[in-house]
C-alpha cells in the first residue's frame, strides 16, 4: 500500500515538477553474518532530487534456506554454532543515490548509502532473545541499464559473484551470538524498474 500510495503521489508531482520517479522490483540471493543464506525480494521507490541525485525508500525481506557452513566441533570450548541463527529478516530503508552516466544516458553506475531498521524474525529455539528490531547502515553499488523510455534493469557490478549491496548493524542481537549482524547479496542479483 505504501508503494502504491507513493507511486500515485509521484505521478501527480511529476506532472508539476517534471522530476523522474522509478519503482523497482528486486530479487536475488543473500548471505548473512549468522551463517544463513537464502533468497531476498524487495520493492523500492526512487525519486529525483536534483540532477543525478535521487532519494529512495525500500522494503525488503530475506528468507532463510540453509547454512553455508557446517562445523566440525568436538564439543569443547565455545560452540561455533552460537553464531548460527535461523531467521528471516525484513527491512525498511531510506537511501540516497548518485546516478553516474558511463555510456551516454543508457548505462549508469549508481553508488548509494542509507539507513534503516531490520526486523529479525528468529525461529531458532536455541536463541535466547527471540525476535529483534535493530538499526542498519546500508551501502550499495549497482549498474543501471536503461531499455527504452520507461524500463531499466539493476545489476550488481559484475552481474554475478560480486556483492553490490552491504547492510551492517552496530547493534548485536544478544546471546548466544557475539557478532554484529550484516547482510549482502551474492551470486544472483537483479532488479527491474519502471520510470515515470
Give the pLDDT confidence of 44-66 residue by residue, as tens digits.
Answer: 999 999 999 999 999 999 999 99
Measure CA of the first residue to CA of the last residue in the chain; give whole Å: 18
Q: What stretches in the chain show pLDDT beneath 70? A: 1-17, 128-129, 157-163, 186-188
Please give the model's pTM, rounded to 2 decimal places: 0.85
3-state SS, one letter per residue, for the chain? CHHHHHHHHHHHHHHHHCCCEEEEEEEEEEEECCCEEEEEEEEEEEEEEECCEEEEEEEEEEEEEECCCCCCCCCCCCCHHHHCCCEEEEEEEEEEEECEEEECCCEEEEEEEEEEEEEEEECCCCCCCCCEEEEEEEEEEEEEEEECCCEEEEECCCCCCCCCEEEECCCCCCCCCCCCCEEEEEEEEEEEEEEC
How far apart are the C-alpha atoms of 59 and 90, rounded to whole Å?
Answer: 8
The whole-number pLDDT of residue 83 equals: 82
Ordered domains of the chain (ranges, CATH):
2-68+80-195 (2.40.160.20)
The whole-number pLDDT of residue 187 equals: 66
Amino acid at each position: 500500500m505504501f508503494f502504491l500510495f507513493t507511486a500515485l503521489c509521484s505521478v501527480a508531482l511529476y506532472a508539476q515538477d517534471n522530476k523522474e520517479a522509478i519503482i523497482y522490483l528486486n530479487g536475488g540471493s543473500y548471505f548473512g553474518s549468522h551463517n544463513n543464506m537464502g533468497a531476498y525480494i524487495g520493492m523500492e521507490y526512487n525519486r529525483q532530487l536534483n540532477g543525478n541525485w535521487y532519494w529512495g525508500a525500500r522494503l525488503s525481506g530475506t528468507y532463510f534456506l540453509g547454512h553455508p557452513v557446517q562445523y566440525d566441533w568436538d564439543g569443547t570450548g565455545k560452540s561455533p554454532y552460537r553464531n548460527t541463527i535461523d531467521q528471516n529478516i525484513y527491512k525498511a530503508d531510506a537511501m540516497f543515490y548518485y546516478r553516474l552516466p558511463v555510456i551516454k544516458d543508457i548505462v549508469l553506475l549508481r553508488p548509494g548509502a542509507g539507513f534503516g531498521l531490520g526486523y529479525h524474525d528468529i525461529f531458532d529455539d536455541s536463541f535466547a532473545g527471540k525476535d529483534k528490531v535493530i538499526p542498519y547502515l546500508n551501502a550499495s553499488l549497482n549498474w543501471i541499464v536503461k531499455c527504452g523510455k520507461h524500463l531499466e534493469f539493476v545489476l550488481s557490478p559484475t552481474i554475478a559473484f560480486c556483492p553490490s549491496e552491504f547492510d551492517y548493524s552496530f547493534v548485536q542481537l544478544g546471546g548466544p551470538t557475539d557478532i554484529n549482524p550484516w547482510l549482502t547479496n551474492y551470486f544472483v542479483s537483479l532488479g527491474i524498474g519502471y520510470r515515470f
